Structures are given as C-alpha cells and as structure tokens.
Amino acid sequence: MGNNRYGYVRVSSREQREDRQLAAMEALAVPAQNIYIDKQSGKDFVRPSYQKLVGRLERDDLLYIHSIDRLGRNYQEILEQWRVLTKEMGVDIVVLDMPLLDTRRDKDLLGSFLSDVVLQLLSFVAENERKNIRARQAEGIAAAKARGVRFGPPEQELPENFAELHQAWREKKITLRKAAELCGIPKSTFYDAAVRIESSAK
C-alpha cells in the first residue's frame, strides 16, 4: 500500500515550457523524483513517462494533474485511464484547476456520480477542442494553398537543357533514364518535374 504523492506534467512539444505545471507540483510538495514529464501530443497514452508513472503507482497513492487536457485529449481514452487508475488501482487523482475532480472528497455514491459527470463533460470538451484545432489547421492550409502558398521543400532548380531533353523524352527519342542522366539529376526528380510542368501547362 502506498501513500506517496506523484505529479504528471505534459506539454505538446519540446518547444513548449512546463514551468507553470512544475511550479504547481512543487507548491504541493510533490517530490521531484515523483514528477513525470512527457513532451508529446496527448492524442493517446503511449507516452514513456506516463507509462513509467503508472508502473509505480500503488493503491492509496495520490496523483496530481494540472488540468484534464494534460492527462490527454482523447475522450474515450481519458475516461478509460481514469477508470483504471481510480477503480482498478485505487489511486486518488486531483485535477488542480477543477476542484470537483478530486477523488479524495465525497467518496459516497453521489460524490462519485458528480465526479464522473464532470469528468465526462471535461473530457468531451478537451477532445472537441483537439478536433477543432485540427479542422482550423486544415482550413488554414487549404486557404494558403488557394493563395498559391507552397508547402514542403523548395523545388529543385532544373538544368538549362531540361526543356530540350523533356521534349526528346516525350517524343520517345531517348529513354527517361538517359534524359535524367544528361540533365545530371535523379530519374525520379526528372519525372516529377516533367509531370509538374505538363500539369501547369494544361
């Protein structure tokens, strides 16, 4: 049986800072060695530090999370993880920015019911926001493409003799391999450039 305090911290990328979450854990006197940090997306729970944390948790341990979206962003998986941790493993969870999500209090039937309802609502909101972000990103990319913005690596500058060799290849005077060789570029690059030029000329 354990009565240890743990903290879980997550940011979505290596560029983001976890300082605010760490400060909250330190203020609660969570030992530094018991704070687990992941720097990756919350789309699923295949995260190295989270898996190590779950492996250490024991019944009656206490887990602090800054907000429900730090636990994850997948609605169904958040609910399943919460069930496993609290019901199967007997771990208490405190979500710092949502006092209703504190499994130490109101352990009667009504308290559990209220916690479950709040959790489901917040989990739904977290996942819905993730979907909205993806939709906005897709809309932004589509709008940028419509304005002529190109994505991906810059196009390679073609040699001066490309047009001549392109025509010779299309007229079957030389092979694709020979045309690419005479241009001094890979065969795939020659072909991709030819297709791109022919598509833009239509």
Place of tokens 């779950």: 54
Single-letter code of the amino acid located at 195: V
Query: What whole-number distance in Å separates Cα of residue 70 and Cα of residue 182?
Result: 56
Question: 155: number of CA atoms within 13 Å, CB side?
Answer: 11
What is the maximal distance between C-alpha atoms in the chain? 85
Query: What whole-number distance in Å separates Cα of residue 176 and Cα of residue 52?
Result: 54
- What letter does residue 33 receive in the DSSP assignment? G
Taking each helix axis as running N to C, give the angle between helix 109-146 and helix 75-83, from 0 to 180 degrees, rounded to the nearest 10.
150
Neighbours of 174 (CB within 10 A): 15
Active-site residue (options: 12, 49, 67, 112): 12
Q: Which among 107, 46, 98 is positioned nearest to 54, based on CA atoms?
A: 46
Place of tokens 């047009």: 163
Active-site residue 12, yes or no? yes
For residue 101, give the 3-state DSSP assignment.
coil
Tell me which residues are annotated as active site. 12
